Structures are given as C-alpha cells and as structure tokens.
Structure 1
Amino acid sequence: MSELYYDPWDFEIDLDPYPTYRRIRDESPVFYNEKHNFWGVSRYADVDAGLKDTARLSSAKGDILEVVLTDPVIPPGVFINEDPPLHTIHRAIVARAFTPKKMRAIEDKVRAFCTACLDPLVGGERFDFVQDLGAELPMRTIGMLAGIPDSEQPAVRAHAHASLRNEAGKPMNIDKDHYFTGEMFGECIEWREKNPSDDLITELLNVEFEDETGTTRKLTKQELIIFLAVVAGAGVETTGRLFGWMGKVLSENPDQRKELVEDHSLVPGAIDELLRFEPPGPHVARYVTAADVAFQDQVIPANSAVLLMLASANRDERHFEDPDRFDIRRRPGGHLTFGRGAHFCVGAPLARLEGRVALEEVLKRFPEWTVDMDNARRSRTSTVRGWDSMPAVVG
C-alpha cells in the first residue's frame, strides 16, 4: 500500500479524495503535513468540535489554509475572519439579508432568473449545468439581493473566480500586505447612496449598530465595501459549484432522479444530501491560539495551522450509515458543509433556496440527462471543489 499522504493542492488526490480521506480517518485521523507545515483533522466528531471551538481554533488569521500560513494583514470587516465577540457583531449586521422572510420574498425572483437561464435551452440536445446555470444564477441572485448593478456583475463573478485559482500542486499566492480588498464595490456603494433601493447596500448604508467599544454608529465606507466583497465572493463561488455536482451526481443516480421528477417534495432533502455528498467547500482552516489543542490524544501545538476536513467528516462511517452512498431519502441535516457554531454559513438559507429552485426547474424541463464527462472541465482551485463545465446530453 502506498504511503499515506494528503494535501489540498494535489490535483490527482483531489479528483477523488474519498479513498484517501477514508485511509486518513482510519490510520491517522489527526495528521501532520511536514511539507506544508499544517495539521489535518478528518473525523466527524473532531471536525464538529473544532468548528465550535472558537476560543482555541481561531479564524482571525483566515479560514483558507494558504491565508493562515501566510498570516496577512486582514482589514476590519472581513467577518468570516474574525472571532467572537467582533464576529458576532458584524455577522448580525449581514445576517439581516438572509432571514426566512427575505428568502420567501425573493424566491419568485430566483425562479424567474432560473427560468430565464433554462427556457432558451429547451428543445436543444445539450446544456451545461455550470456555464448555463451555475455561472449565472448565483451571481444574479446575490446581485439582486445586495443591489449590485447588472453591468457590474460579470466583473464581480470573474474576480471571485480568479482569486481562488492555484497552480497545480502549489498553494495560492497570497499578498501579505494586500490580502483582501473590495475596491470594485466602491462605485456601487456611491451610486446606491444617490439611488437607494430595497437591497442590502441601502440597508447597510443606513444601519446603526453598537460596535465592540460600545459606540453606536454607522458602518464606515471601507467596512461596507469589505462586507459586500465577502458576501458576493462567498455566494458566487461555492453555490456556483453546487450546480456542477447536481448534474453529475443525479446523472449517476437515475433512479433517484426519477423519484425527484415524480415528487418535488423530495427536492430539499436531495439538495441537503448533495451538499453532504459533494461539498463545494471541502475544508476550512483555523489557527491554534496560545494553548495547545488535542484531538484523538494527538496534541496540536499552539500557533499551528489546522485544516478541518469537512468533506472527510461528511463521509465518516462513524457518524453516517453507508456514507459513500448518495441517498435523497437520508435524514436531512447533520453534514458539516455549512460549518457549525458561531461561523455557521450566514448564506446557507440562500444556497439551499437556489439549489432547490434550480433543481425543480431543471427537472421540469429535462427529466433525463447524461453528463458528457469527456468534455467536463474541473475547476482548478483547492479552496472550492467543483467544475468549470458540466455538459449534459438531454434525454
């Protein structure tokens, strides 16, 4: 048997990481990668505990492994890279965009976007789950929700896509002094100041909150720019990857797809199972603070970078029965794709809404398809796992 090795930048492993994940869980559930100087945690119970432990496993140096290892200057307002109590304050401001009431209010618009993407393809022999749907719907939805003008959306999408690319076998290059900027959103905010509307930018321009010093104030323009960049970037890339997996996994499970065609009430569970089975965000990183932390009796020293392996945890047979089987009737919930605790993904309701609506609309128009894997293209990024193209032959 080959020597056990894993790193998230190895494209060969990433093509099908699940056999490697299983070996890691069984043979070395907490392992050290000497080449890149990070620790990996792979079992469900440990990843779950690690996600909740914000005191000892910090997000303040980033949640992407390359970022944690580089330790760049992170500007104020990147709330996904903050710990409580600061994270709690900033998250609450952004979370107002993703309430159940807001999600109900935008569902018809999301469905209209989806219809506009799919209707022109009806009658054709092929369509692409990523290029025709995944590359369009999430950006249009986030744009509508946030108030990003249509003309700016392609540039936002391209920036989000390019910022996560890495060369084969190598970590992304992180600029230590200019890690996270959102300059492209400055003009959007200035335009919204003069043209207010029912959107997140307008709401954030006017919101008053109590900051960490106890001062009641409005957001600075720089804070607002960063908030918007975080929301737009996260919503476009991860949700967009979900659509490629939707096409592939349901093509490989035609009997379950047929059940979904016949009964749309099964669709929400299918989306949740898809998120468990092929999570677009396969891992998150943390930084061990002043005190050592232990998993499985393995001590991880203070000041270490840790990779919490969500995709491995989602296939852990210690927690899930028959975890390598895709099952739309599996009891929903339990997967760690959206995280846990304080950093549970604030956009999870929107991702689930987009996935559900998109699958319903695809099934109405294309009840059967076969993916053309010879022409499918993987997205070469270690941070978000998925496809740049997932073409399907209809019928």
Structure 2
Amino acid sequence: MSDLYWDPISPELRDDPYPLWRRLRDEAPVYRNDRLDFYALSRFADIEAAHRDAETFSSNHGTTLETMSPEPMDSAMMIWLDPPRHTTLRKLVSRAFTVRRVSALEDRIREICAELLDPRIGSGGFDFVQDFSAILPPTVISILLGVPRSEREELRQVVDNVFHMEEGVGMANEVSYTALTELGLRLGAHFADRRTNARDDVFTDLVAAEVADEVTGEPRRLTDEELASFAILLFSAGSETVARNLGWAASLLDQHPDQRAELARDPALIPGALEEILRFEPPSPVNARWSTRDITVGDQMIPANSRVILITGSAGRDERQYTNPDVFDIHRKVDLHMTFGYGMHFCLGAALARREGRIGLEETLRRWPDWTVDREATEMLYTSTVRGPLRLPVRV
C-alpha cells in the first residue's frame, strides 16, 4: 500500500496539509481513496476545468464528503443545485448583492469594526477571532438580511454549531443537524413577518420576488424552503469563511512583520494583499462534486457516480500556476484563484467578503500597526471543508 494517503477528515493531516498536497499534485494528481471511496483533484488546471464543467461535476449530491449521497438531494439549498433550478434561484438571490447594496454597507462595516476594536485599545491583548473576526460578518449579514440586534449573538452561536465536527463523521452529526434545523426555523420566521411587515432589507426583497417556474414557466414566489435555505446559506457560509479569512490575515501578517508594516504605511496595498491571503490560506480549501459520467482527467478515468474532491487549497499552491507558491508575498499579482469557486457556483457573496476583509484589516492596522500572536494558545477550526483559526490571542 502506498504511503501517500489523504482525506479531509483525518485529524493528523490538518495542521500543515501543503507538503502532502504537493505530493498529490506531483505523484497522484487524480488521487483515489479506496477506504472512503472518493477521488481527489489537486492541480489548479484540473480544478478550474471541473468548476467550468458543472454538468459533469454536479453539486446536486452534496458538496462535503460526509453529506454526499448517491441520490440527488431533495433540497432548496442553492449550493446543492444544478441547472435549471440553480440558474433560476441564483439570478434572483444575486439581487441581494447588488453593487448599490454592498457599497451602501461600507460605512456601517467600518462602524461595526470601531465598536468591536475600540474597547480593546490599551487592553494589552484580545482574541482576534472570537472578539472581532467571528462577530463582524454575522453582524453585517444580519443588517443585510434584516435580523434585529437582539437575535444576532444567539444566531452566531447556532452557526458555530452548524460547523460542529466529530471525529469519523465530520459534520454529519446530531449537533450540526439540529443547529441547521434551528437556524432555518429562526430565519424562516422573519420571512413570515415580512409578508405583512415589509421593510428595506433582503428578507423583504426575497419574499416579494417572483421567479419563473422551471417546469411551467409561469411566475411564482419562492417557497418557504427556498427562502429559508438561502438565508441559512448566506448566514452560515458567509459568517464562517470571512471569520477564518480575517483570522488568517492576522496570523500571516504576524509571521511577516515587514509586509504588515508596508500595509500599515500604505493601505492601498490591502486589497491585493487580501487576494494573496485568500490564495495562500483559503478558509474553505476543500469542496466536493459528483461525477455524472465517465470523465478522463490527465491519463486517469474517473467513473460515473463517483465522489470527487476538489482541493482548492492545493490549487492555490500549485507551482504550475504560481511562481514560488509557498512564498507569501503581498505584492504578488493574483489574477485568479479558486478560493471563491469558479464558473456557475462562484461565490455570490465574494464582493461582500472582500469588502469586509479590506475594511476589517484597514481598521485593525489603523489602531495597531503591529501585534504578536500567542501561538501556544491558538486553536484551529477544522471541518471537512473549512480550515482556519478558531481562537487567535494577540498581544497589542
């Protein structure tokens, strides 16, 4: 048996997966895991091609290893849908992320950062993730959707439970399932309210919106399940990934103080630096698809009805795509990375995530041009699809 082994759940493979992913790219770019019955793609070009070919690499059977099923999912969750239903819903919910609506959040995001960071001035230190980066995105999303302040902290705790991980089963556990149900019920109640109490928020927009039925072509409103599924996706995925992204930013810049000093002196460098952070340490480095037909990748055939893992974190370190990919460089021109996906399933919230990351880093550097991470007290969050700091104590 080859000593080359990888799966997205084994705890011993989580802390520094990059040397192993390099071996996968070099030795087994189409990797086969017999024990857990999946294939894995690790090279940038192969992963980009898979994202482009959504007809062959379907999302309709689930997008995490432990939740995938042989039968298509009977779900309204947009990330688990293929065309034509996916196309219909995506056109509609993309209205939540118009340039006008996202741009209008600029000042409010900055205010939230000030509310969270100003009390830490003079404190000597704080947990950058738990006290800041894990609070910022769900607060912004709550404002976007129309969730009242009184519910935001409780919903953040529910989202944390959605990503609860148990050894051997990943997120396929009772805590995670219960949290998903609770999140759907609580967010669904807001949609019911907006039917009689319209407001200037996304909840109201979605309740009032009409889509063309995929079968009849007749206009229809979104179902309760479709409404709740979209809110769950936005609240959970948007909160979790931005929290990890900002955590990675604080961690990496502590390891590269010269580059951090450059960003403090010239904030105009921050947007480019964030793209490098997203490439170098993606908050969601692993995604899954289902092959709908036999497909040859390189010189290896992946049979129809196979689980296929796309290791986007490996794509970001592929030397076939990037020069010196294991070097962190805020001046690198990153024309393309796979961190937000690609093609049909490109992340709807990417513009909002980038804005939150930019403003969050600007406001942090404005108050503290340097900090020190307590590495011994740092804790990481690992699921089969998310990887990043859970607790990141910093001395300031």
Q: TM-score range by the shorter chain?
A: over 0.9
Which residue of the partner structure matches residue 184 of structure 1? 186
Q: Note the 1:139-288 alignment, pairs <5 A.
A: 139-173=138-172, 181=181, 182-213=184-215, 214-288=217-291
Change (3 A) 1:85 1:178: farther
Partner of 1:9: 9
Give the CA deviation at 1:327. Answer: 0.9
* 3-state secondary structure, aligned to 1:392: strand
Question: What CA distance in whole angstroms lies between the structure 2 residues aligned with 1:207 and 1:110?
Answer: 27
Secondary structure of the residue aligned to 2:278 is helix
| Residue number in structure 1 paired with 2:394 | 392
Deviation digits for residues 303-355 of structure 1 (CA, Å, limit 9, x no counterpart)? 10000000000000000011011111111331100011000000000110000
The secondary structure found in structure 2 opposite 1:26 is helix
Verify the 8 A CA contact 1:125 1:393 in the aligned structure 2: yes
Q: In structure 2, give the amino acid aligned to 1:250.
A: L
Q: Which amino acid aligns with 1:349?
A: A
Alpha-carbon distance in 2 for matches of 1:237, 1:179: 14
In terms of mean alpha carbon deviation, does 83-92 or 311-320 score higher? 83-92
Alpha carbons of structure 1 residues 365 and 375: separation in structure 2 relative to 1, 3 Å: same
Counterpart AA for 1:199:
D
Counterpart residue number, 1:323? 325
Relative to structure 1, is the Cα distance of residues 153 and 179 closer, same or farther in structure 2, using a 3 angstrom cutoff?
closer
1:72-104: CA deviations, max 9, x gaps?
84323x111111221111011111111222221
CA distance in 1: counterparts of 2:69 and 2:152, whole angstroms: 31
Query: Which stretch has the larger CA shift, 261-270 or 377-386?
Result: 377-386
Q: Is the 8 A contact 1:165 1:380 kept in 2?
A: no
Aligned residue type for 2:106 = E
Distance across 1 between alignment mates of 2:106 and 2:248: 22
- 3-state SS of the aligned residue for 2:250? helix
Equivalent residues of 2:51, 2:342 under 8 A apart: yes
Q: Is the 1:139–1:236 Cα contact (8 Å) retained in structure 2?
A: yes
Structure 1: segments with no counterpart, 5+ residues? none
Residues 64 and 384 of structure 2 are in contact (CA less than 8 Å); yes or no, is this contact kept in structure 1? no
The answer for the alignment partner of 2:129 in structure 1 is: 130
Contact kept in structure 2, 1:74 and 1:179, CA below 8 Å: no
Match for residue 110 of structure 2?
111
Q: Is the 8 A contact 1:72 1:178 kept in 2?
A: no
- Whether the aligned pair in 1 keeps the contact of 2:65 and 2:384 (CA below 8 Å) is no
| Superposed CA offset, 1:273-328 (max 9, x none) | 11111000011100011x20111111011010000000000000000011011111
Amino acid in the other structure paired with 2:20: T
Quick check: 1:67–1:174 contact (8 Å CA) kept in 2?
no
1:305 maps to 307
Report how far residue 186 of structure 1 moved.
2.2
**Aligned equivalents of 2:179, 2:363: Cα separation in 1:** 38
Distance 1:129 1:45 in 2: 35
Q: 1:184 to 1:114 in 2, by over 3 A?
A: same
What's the TM-score once normalised by structure 1's chain length?
A: 0.95
Q: 1:360 aligns with which of 342, 359, 362?
A: 362
1:371, 1:392 within 8 Å by CA — same for their partners in 2?
yes
Distance in 2 (alpha carbons) for counterparts of 1:89 and 1:372: 47
Maintained 8 Å contact 2:286/2:310: yes
Local SS of the residue matching 1:373: coil
Following the alignment from structure 1 to structure 2, what is the Cα–Cα distance between the partners of residues 143 and 172?
Answer: 24
Contact residue 72 and residue 179 of structure 1 kept, 8 A = no
- Tell me, what secondary structure is at the counterpart of 1:209? strand
Q: What's 1:59 paired with?
A: 59
Compute the TM-score of the two structures, normalised by the length of structure 2.
0.94
What count of residue pairs does the alignment treat as equivalent?
A: 390
2-structure distance, mates of 1:220, 1:170: 31
1:38–1:306 Cα contact (<8 Å) kept: yes
1:270 counterpart letter in structure 2: A
Q: What is the SS of the residue equivalent to 2:301?
A: strand
Asked whether the 8 Å contact 1:39–1:305 carries over to 2, the reply is yes
Q: Secondary structure at the match of 2:147?
A: coil
Distance in 1 (alpha carbons) for counterparts of 2:223 and 2:287: 29
Q: Which amino acid aligns with 2:86?
A: H
Identity value in percent: 45
Does the 8 A contact of 1:282 with 1:311 survive in 2?
yes
In the other structure, the counterpart of 2:343 is 341
Q: Distance in 2 between matches of 1:320 and 1:26?
A: 15
Tell whether the 8 Å contact from 2:162 to 2:180 is kept in structure 1 after alignment. Answer: no
- For structure 2, the 5+ residue unaligned runs are none
- The aligned amino acid for 1:295 is V
Residues 279 and 311, structure 1, Cα contact 8 Å, conserved in 2? yes
Deviations, residues 91-126 of structure 1 (Å, cap 9, x unaligned): 111111112222211111111111110010011110
Q: Secondary structure at the match of 2:130?
A: helix
Matched-pair contact (CA < 8 Å) for 1:204–1:224:
yes
CA separation in 2, counterparts of 1:297 and 1:154?
50
For residue 372 of structure 2, the aligned residue among 370, 373, 382 is 370
Q: In structure 2, do the counterparts of structure 1 residues 180 and 70 end up closer, same or farther at CA, with 3 Å as the change threshold?
A: farther
Moved more, 150-159 or 303-312: 150-159
Q: Distance in 1 between the 2:84 and 2:70 partners?
A: 24
